[in-house]
C-alpha cells in the first residue's frame, strides 16, 4: 500500500474558535512547513504582545502529543486528524541587567 497523494485534516487555534479544514497536504512536507502554511490562512498572530516573533507547535489530538517541526506529514498524520496550533509562550518578563 503506497502513501496517499494528499492528506486532509482539521486545524484549530488553542481557543478552538478558529477551525480550518485543510485539504491537499503534501505527504512529503514537514510538520513545520504545514504549520507555516496554516498561520496566514488561519489569521493567527505572527508576533506576541511584546512584538517578539511567535513560534507555533502542533498538538496532535489523536495521540495527545506535540509534533516536531521536522516530522514528515505522511509518517505522523492520518486522514481526518485534528491538530491544535499553539504558540510557544515564554514565561516571565524581561530580565533586568
Find where cell 498524520 sits. Answer: 77
Q: What is the DSSP string of 37-82?
A: HHHHHTT--SB-TTSPBP-EEEEETTTTEEEPTTSBHHHH--TT-E
pLDDT in tens, the chain (97 residues): 555 688 999 999 999 999 999 998 999 999 999 999 999 999 999 998 888 899 999 999 999 999 999 999 999 999 999 999 999 876 555 555 5
Per-residue confidence (pLDDT) for residue 90, from 0 to 100: 63
Using a cut of 0.95, tell me whether the model's pTM lies above it.
Answer: no
Cβ of 86: how many Cβ atoms within 10 Å? 15
CA distance 29 to 90: 28
Ordered by where they begin, the domains of the chain are 7-87 (3.10.20.90)
Amino acid at each position: 500500500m503506497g502513501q496517499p497523494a494528499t492528506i486532509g485534516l482539521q486545524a484549530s487555534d488553542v481557543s478552538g474558535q478558529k477551525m480550518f479544514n485543510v485539504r491537499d497536504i503534501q505527504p512529503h512536507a514537514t510538520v513545520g512547513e504545514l504549520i507555516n502554511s496554516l498561520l496566514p490562512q488561519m489569521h493567527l498572530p505572527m508576533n506576541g504582545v511584546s512584538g517578539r516573533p511567535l513560534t507555533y507547535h502542533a498538538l496532535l489530538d489523536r495521540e495527545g502529543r506535540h509534533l516536531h517541526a521536522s516530522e514528515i506529514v505522511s509518517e505522523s498524520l492520518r486522514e481526518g486528524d485534528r491538530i491544535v496550533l499553539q504558540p510557544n509562550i515564554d514565561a516571565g518578563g524581561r530580565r533586568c541587567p
